[in-house]
Structure 1
């Protein structure tokens, strides 16, 4: 049974496949904080952790969904020329309706995070601010734009770590990895509409390599299982081939596919985090979100 047109349009604005990758951030952060192991090892005694994890999952759904909705709200006029197939220029959703949806999602995300801790509330508020800043201003900035977008994703990982507020001081630096990775994707995406210059694409490839080296160093430092490197190899196999194909031809369609692969592969990146700080089993559990995200990407746009 097909979805009602308005509901489908709202879901298209929220980009469900991307939201699944944001949930993976929360699970990876929970693994880094130690909360995930605590939850599984003594379920009956850790109802608070389990409930708080659910609150943070709901929070990231609101924050990510609201952020990407406002992306289309701010780009409404530009999309009339460049992407007329999107819900707002198509006429399925008005700019006002989009703004209301985005506002409800962002506020809802912040309120859900507030149920966990003050730290979670502060981080969620910062993520919402960074998302709006990127939508309204950052995306038009050559250097600061990718960094701005990366801050949103790094903050989302910190939101997962805030499940144990004390762990933020120990593992805040982990947020630098998704910041660099998202900066790479944002750099690559610049040519998605009109075609890209190879310098930006090669720059993205270089940042991808920095991320992989950082993850490998982290795994070695934490004396992780060899399974981590299996996840890491899978990660590399997902992001490099479409990017190198885009570099060879620099066509908008190929760049779009490279961006899509980069976004969805955030789940594999988070599986690496989970396997480093918990175990390969936890990494595999996070990885199970991948087919869900890929499936949703068949019906709803990622970029």
Structure 2
């Protein structure tokens, strides 16, 4: 097997297009909590997020290998393109490296939060991939992973913690909203390999929309968020109507025609829309160029999504 083919196989295994959504999460968190991307600290937090996200993707396929043999035989493991022993070493190695990176960030910043959150995030990843992904708790745990990922970025600007990991002095509604959004998208993708149930798809779309509404409501329910908002309130509302509309349009198509092709397309767009959501938050609470920096992550994500499946 050529080196290029090997790289392509591992890129497909790790769903590399999706990793930019994890990066946008922590960038949004750091920009929201500090007003910028704080140099080498931002590099460390980004590395932590990327390593843990890739670990989750690899371990997901590792523990789904038997199911993928039936439903997705073209995937790297069931097709025999990557030995399962290599996948096991890679997945657990990435997870360990991600936790180490989180604690390294804690050593060079005034707060232990990045290290603590990396532990919690790693624990949720393992719980999801090994045993709970098929249970009713699966989508909630997936949402919890995104919640923790945004907190990872927010934690850089935290002066104190509550409950051992939660920044006590930061606006955390974007983290909650992102968690709810991914919870809804995960339910939407629940049976994407076969024809989906329209009722489940509709309820999942409502859940994803609720996550966006949570974020959009931030300046109207938190005094600190209202005072820091840089946009006119009506401009802020219009921005979120536009964002929600673009995501829902594809979900509605999938609800009306619940075939795997349409559902997978809607799920893929919803996942990549995480970057747009994060950029929209930054537009409301930071200098515009930081929003553009986050939005720029769409380009490599879209390019790689044309080469490798995002679901």
> TM over 0.5, yes or no?
yes
Conserved 8 A contact 2:183-2:208: no
Counterpart-to-counterpart distance in 2, 1:159 and 1:173: 14
What TM-score comes out, normalization by structure 1 length?
0.90
Conserved 8 A contact 1:234-1:268: no
Q: Paired residue for 2:183?
A: 183
Counterpart-to-counterpart distance in 2, 1:175 and 1:213: 13
Conserved 8 A contact 1:35-1:163: no
Counterpart-to-counterpart distance in 2, 1:285 and 1:110: 26
Greater helix proportion? 1
The 3 A distance-change label for structure 1 pair 173 and 214 is closer
Residue 238 of structure 1: how far off its partner (Å): 2.9
Residue 173 of structure 1: how far off its partner (Å): 4.2
Residue 121 in 1 paired to residue 115 in 2?
A: yes
Residue 166 of structure 1: how far off its partner (Å): 1.9
1:285 to 268, 273, 293: 293
Listed one character per residue, the Cα deviations across residues 60-92 of structure 1 (whole Å, up to 9, x for unaligned) are: 110000001000000001101100111001111
Moved more, 168-177 or 92-101: 168-177
Conserved 8 A contact 1:231-1:271: no
Conserved 8 A contact 2:26-2:153: yes
The 3 A distance-change label for structure 1 pair 232 and 7 is same
Residue 50 of structure 1: how far off its partner (Å): 0.8
Residue 212 of structure 1: how far off its partner (Å): 2.7
Q: Paired residue for 1:51?
A: 40
Unpaired runs of at least 5, structure 1:
40-48
SS at match of 2:46: helix
Residue 3 of structure 1: how far off its partner (Å): 5.4
Counterpart-to-counterpart distance in 1, 2:212 and 2:124: 25
Conserved 8 A contact 1:219-1:276: no
What TM-score comes out, normalization by structure 2 length?
0.88
Residue 138 of structure 1: how far off its partner (Å): 2.0
Conserved 8 A contact 2:19-2:53: yes
Counterpart-to-counterpart distance in 1, 2:239 and 2:102: 30
Conserved 8 A contact 1:62-1:108: yes
